[in-house]
A = this chain, B = another copy of it.
Amino acid sequence: MQDVAALAGVSMATVSRVLSGHPDVSPETRDAVQRIVRQYGFSKNRSAGALSAGKTSLVGLTLPRIDAPYFAAILDSATEALYEQDLRVVLCPTHHEHEREIVLLERLMHGMTAGALLVMPHESNEELRTLQNHGYPFVVVDPLRSVADGIPCVSPNHYIGAVAATEHLIDLGHRRIAAIKGYDGWLATEERLTGFRSTLLGAGIAPDPRLEVSSDYGIERGREAALLLFNQPEPPTAIFGFNDNIAIGAMIAARERGLRVPEDVSIVGFDDVVGARTAFPPLTTVRQPLAEMGRIAVDLLTRLLDGKPLDAVRVELQSKLVVRESTAPA
């Protein structure tokens, strides 16, 4: 930078001002500096800038895993939104390991990043509160468990989506409707389950515990769970998979049993990840606004970074049913 200053016949301070887009520089000076900068292809050292200004243009993003379409979609939109703010993402997959999250966050917050997006974190509310008290800005996205008041958070409305899915099945005339749940204790699982049961109840159908089986939100466990269901003396005529993976696994299980989807059994999923539309048959599912979730989270975070107040610390997004071909009248 010194060289640029010398070549432009100004001081480093001025070069710094030009490079940072500071207003108090005369047009001529600015032009002169910019010419030299372009000519020599100069570019300021980010580490030095970060140290000196006490802030970086990096944002941390922790998430369980990358190679799941669900998270990839959030990651994609968040990264893009951040890019538009000239912010870069430091990627931190946690593999659902709480320990790793802690280590990563600890590193992230010490001078490396300006703030973070925590996708489905395993942090407890106390831990999050501590982070907050350290003055580190962050936004929780799609919390794994219920998040305490005052912690910025954007989440999907699981309940509404589950109601829509269940109603759809009921409207088609199904009465024996099974649910293949995800991990117990997760907010997504519990709220979807509540939506499922209360809708059944509302239609005068008593929830049957034998028709509620668990899985891990993966295709394989979804398949196994469906097989369990099909093996019952009175198998369900419809299955609500708590995510698309489960639903796809259930379709595979149905085929193994020689059952046609949707003629013999209707299947509905949740999330509407990319594979849902191209599955066979195309999956009826609940669309989650994943891209929007990423963008809104970035929005909240940048506001936090700018020290502006948040209009809402908690944003809840609506999801809606997308009817395709995996469901039919009972």
- Hey, which bits of chain A sit against chain B, CB under 8 A? 43-51, 56, 58, 61, 65-67, 69, 72-73, 75-76, 79-80, 83, 88-93, 106-107, 110-112, 219, 248-249, 251-252, 255, 274-275, 278-280
Contact = CB atoms under 8 A, between A and B. Distances in A.
A256 B315 CA distance: 41
Contacts of A45: 51, 110-111
A51 B47 contact: yes
Contact of A76 (B48, B73, B93): B93
A90 B88 contact: yes
- The DSSP consensus for interface residues of chain A is helix
27 contacts: A43-B106, A44-B110, A45-B111, A46-B110, A46-B111, A47-B47, A47-B50, A47-B111, A48-B51, A49-B111, A51-B51, A58-B112, A61-B91, A66-B75, A67-B73, A67-B76, A67-B274, A79-B91, A88-B90, A88-B91, A89-B91, A90-B90, A219-B278, A255-B280, A275-B275, A275-B278, A280-B280
Contacts of A88: 90-92, 107, 112
A91 B91 contact: yes
Nearest to A280: B280
A101 to B, nearest CB: 12
Nearest to A50: B47
Contacts of A106: 43
A213 B219 CA distance: 33
